[in-house]
Structure 1
């Protein structure tokens, strides 16, 4: 991947996260509890399980993103960002627009069996709002200078810019999965994958 304009990258990620918040508020928050907890017809995760899985990633990454960005305030900022090879690989693996190969979730991110569906949706919305604030605060941060350990391979450290892209692509991937559990087409899908 060639270098991308950091400001544009962050703006695109913000737009996607705003759509995720809108979808969670307008669709998932208004579904009956039974619909949120109903396992997928193919045996896959329920909507609540998909969101709980995403919340577990937010629990891991959001504090690390906040801590990393706090240390970088006032440091020189590059106008462009270039993903690392490993970062590009993980982003590509999660991007639902590039294919949908299934991956087994690691144990730490498998949702528990007994979920409070509405609490899961509330937490997802809260975390997406936090992620949006993090993205906005990254405008004056060098996305290459902060390294965050991957939750699934702690010995692998990713650039902050790669972590942000991975997190948003991973959210998108599982929101696509959650949408398949809704019997009626969503109004806010607007052609997005």
Structure 2
């Protein structure tokens, strides 16, 4: 797929800003509501956000490093790679989403979590992601490559941004369901 770079960055920024607004809204809920689970194996709303925090710690650092060290300056278009596009699109929420397995290191289930700490960390990391999106406007999203959490694979920066933010959207939807 081919995207106009500015339009893609604007779309992704809109997603991230809505995620920040949602987390701010969650500050109005009590701890019991935020930690409530549908069943023993499901995640609470706070566990969904902690999962995203665990990924953001890796991806924000990786994205920042690649932007700061990129030799490739802005291009008006971003050409998605086959695997990167497939991975990003698979993260978009669908009506009947399949549950996906996650790495043990990124699974917050059974963790002792403080809702306020998780929310504040989430908001901080998402604001950092907004800054990275802004910086990425000056970089070629096709030629700049990033590592991903799967060893040996690299995605184009644009695909990594799409993957991370669509993954965030998926789990924001999951958090909303956990609160119903």
* TM-score normalised according to structure 1 size: 0.88
Task: Provide the residue aligned with 2:111 in structure 1.
Answer: 113
Deviations 1:81-128 (A, max 9, x none): 011011011112111047512211111211152111110111111111
Q: What residue number does 1:80 align with?
A: 77
Shift of 1:42: 7.5
On the 8 A contact 1:148/1:160 being kept in 2, the answer is yes
Deviation readout 1:11-59 (Å, 9 max, x if unpaired): 0001111111111112x12110111111124841001110010001001
Q: What are the ranges of 5 or more consecutive residues in structure 1 without an aligned counterpart? A: 184-193
1:154 aligns with 2:151: yes
Aligned partner of 1:68 in structure 2 is 66
Distance 2:30 2:95 in 1: 32
Match of 1:58 among 56, 69, 73: 56
Give the whole-Å Cα distance in 1 for the aligned partners of 2:122 and 2:70: 27
Alpha-carbon distance in structure 1 between the residues aligned to 2:66 and 2:95: 30
The aligned residue for residue 46 of structure 1 is: 44
Whether the 8 Å contact between 2:78 and 2:142 is mirrored in structure 1 is yes
Indicate the residue corresponding to 1:16 in structure 2.
15
Q: Choose which of 87, 92, 97 in structure 2 pairs with 1:90.
A: 87
Query: How many residues end up aligned between the 2 structures?
Result: 179
3-state DSSP class of the match of 1:105? coil
TM-score normalised per structure 2: 0.94
What is the Cα deviation at residue 76 of structure 1? 3.0
CA contact (8 A) 1:92 1:98 kept: no
- In the alignment, structure 2 segments of 5+ residues that lack a partner are none
- Any runs of at least 4 consecutive aligned residues in structure 1 with deviations exceeding 6 A, and if so which? none
Distance, in Å, in 2 between the alignment partners of 1:37 and 1:43 is 13
For the pair 1:171 / 2:168, whether they are aligned, the reply is yes
